[in-house]
Amino acid sequence: FTMVNAKIESMRPVIRILSHFATLRNKPTTLLVSTTGDTGPAAVHAVSDVANPLLTIIVHYPHGQISDFQRKQLTTVDSKCVKIVSFEGGGDDMDWPIKKTLLMNSDNDTAGGRTFCGVNSYNIGRPLMQMVHFIWIYLRMVEQLGVEPGDTNFMIDMVLPTGAMGNITGGYMAKQMGVPIGMLCAGVNINDITHRVIENGEFHRKKIQKTLSDAIN
């Protein structure tokens, strides 16, 4: 079991919940995603599997900044509910356009009767679902090591590849709820805003650099 699996599996229940409410309200809903790796393919396949005509998705990815494998995961899905768009720029450059589009939800005339919803890491459903995986990992660890669940004398440290901090937020929420998790270590690449904020208090953008770990750029 890996954190990549956790990220993908946590997307499915979020998409199914959104599909349920789209049907309940009988209102078309479009999901908006900006991706540099795992989030886009996970969302695309989840929407495709649900196959709800009221639920569509538009995924944006920075041209030339995701792996060929991830690009094929996005562009080879055969579903009328899925649209894939590449854009020039870095992985964060679509954040503001997407947020601006989400604000259209308050104006029915502008939105054309459609609801827009983001499913990147800022969607609270993501870390809530990912939190379950941290609990599952903890229970499997204590089971294998013969430790009594809940024993605060036995803390488990976890190291996670970290981009927008959605997954590690799920771990932090589980820890705050009482799961005996010790250190949560965020592993970043050269696009290291997480490290800069925590270590130096620097919160500003830099030009995204191409790396071998595109998913956490």
Spatial CA neighbour of 117 closest among 25, 7, 3:
25
Q: What is the pLDDT of residue 161?
A: 82
pLDDT at position 4 is 47
CA dihedral (71, 7, 128, 183) in degrees, to 10, reads: -130
Host H or E run for residue 85: strand 82-87
pLDDT in tens, 24-48: 999 999 999 988 877 888 899 999 9
DSSP character string of 118-136: E-STTSTHHHHHHHHHHHH
Tokens of 29: 């809903």
What is the structure's pLDDT at 114?
A: 87
Mark the ranges of the chain whose per-residue pLDDT is less than 70. Answer: 1-8, 91, 106-112, 214-215, 217
Q: Which of 163, 166, 175 is nearest to 208 (CA)?
A: 163
Smallest CA-to-CA distance from 164 within 204, 184, 192 is with 192
Q: How many alpha carbons fall within 13 Å on the CB side of residue 171?
A: 22
How far is it, in rounded angstroms, from Cα 195 to Cα 136?
27
User: What whole-number distance in Å separates Cα of residue 213 and Cα of residue 205?
Assistant: 19
The sign of the dihedral angle between the CA atoms of 102, 108, 109, 111 is positive
The 55-62 sheet, strands edge to edge: 82-87, 55-62, 29-34, 115-118
**β-strand partners of 202:** none
For the chain, how long is the longest CA-to-CA vector?
60
Q: Which residues pair with 117 in a beta bridge?
A: 31
The pTM of the full predicted model, rounded to 2 decimals, is 0.79
Q: For the purposes of burial, counting CB atoms within 10 Å of the CB of 92, is it exposed (0-12), middle (13-18) or buried (19 or more)?
A: middle
